[in-house]
Amino acid sequence: MDGSGELRTVLRTCWQVGVDGCTPVSRLNSDTYVIDSDAARYLAVLVPVGRRRQFEAGLAVAERLAGTGLPSETPVRAANGALCVPLDGTVVALLRCVDGRALTPAERRTWGVALGTVQRALVGYSHPDLGRFHWVRPDAAHLGVADWVRPVVAAAVEAVAKISVTDVLSHGVLHGDPVAAAFRVDGGSGRTGLVDWGAAGSGPLVYDLACAVMHAGGPEHAADLIEGYVTSAPVPPDEVEAVLPTMLRFRHAVEADSAARGVWAAHQAGSVAPDTARLDRARELCESGA
């Protein structure tokens, strides 16, 4: 998909949006373009058609979050009312851009407060097509790419299973990867929301906190983030304290699982020397104990 041609046609015919500019931007798990038109600036997001149901569930979460007054990239429904439309093996959605700036990793307390605030705003919301926690399978073939991967992943999965039985965990909507750059501070209201809900799911809320802590550099660098989260989240402080270490260990295992999948896919495609840098970084995370 080159961002012109067919995409411009679909936007014009299905959304009545004329395209003055179409610029690709980097986003995980999707092809995304900034769309400039006379009326406004949008994002066009394309995902494989097989992911349509989860993608639409994430769009519904964004709609719900915006309805609470927090900034989010809300979908513009097509002329027929659809959240997204087919396009050459993908589905495309048109989202309203959020005015305002992204958080920086240095704004750790604000990051934590914002994550907790978003989770609280979504309390009670559910969608049947949100992916259910969790998706990691210790018997998966790709975990055999290196001797250390499967035992580490299996142990982390077992630890999460144990706390799921022995502890009462707070569940709700998961963003899936709440990095600092996914938060937007509205220039007018000053409120901070969360964008890019393409990987949204449902599960223990502390998992999203573990994601943020990992991206902040680990617990030793995330005290302000965790403190901010506890002040605003719908999760009791004692649950955060008890569950976060296990969830962080699991989040590291998720990184190993994903990196191993990439190496395995490269092997399957015939590569004799796949890039293992991400897998090496995942091993460092898993061995850090942080």
Tens-digit pLDDT profile for residues 256-274: 999 999 999 998 988 877 8
For the chain, domain boundaries: 6-97, 108-288
Provide the CA 200 distance to its chain's centre, in angstroms: 6
Closest C-alpha among 234, 185, 216 to residue 290: 216
CATH class assigned to 108-288: alpha beta
Question: Do 209 and 60 form a contact (C-beta atoms < 8 A)?
Answer: no
Q: What's the pLDDT tens digit per position in 46-91?
A: 999 999 999 999 999 999 999 999 999 999 999 999 999 999 899 9
Report, as an integer, the average pLDDT of 145-151: 96
Closest C-alpha among 16, 14, 19, 17 to residue 80: 14
- pLDDT of the residue at 1: 44
CB atoms within 10 A of CB 74: 17
Confidence (pTM): 0.92
Start-to-end Cα distance in the chain: 40
Residue appearing with tokens 């906190």: 209
Asked whether the predicted pLDDT for residue 3 surpasses 70, the reply is no
25 phi/psi in degrees, rounded to 5: -130, 155
- pLDDT of the residue at 42: 94
- How far is residue 120 from each of residues 11, 19, 193, 245, measured CA to CA in Å? 34, 37, 12, 22
Question: Do 178 and 192 form a contact (C-beta atoms < 8 A)?
Answer: no
Q: What's the pLDDT tens digit per position in 198-224?
A: 889 999 999 999 999 999 999 999 999
pLDDT band at 167 (very low <50, low <70, confident <90, very high): confident
Asked whether the predicted pLDDT for residue 234 surpasses 50, the reply is yes
Torsion over CA: 197, 279, 105, 46 (sign) = negative
- pLDDT of the residue at 58: 94
Burial of residue 268, with CB atoms counted within 10 A of its CB: 0-12 exposed, 13-18 middle, 19 or more buried: exposed
- pLDDT of the residue at 290: 57
What CATH number was assigned to the domain covering residues 6-97?
Answer: 3.30.200.20
Percent of the chain with pLDDT over 70: 98
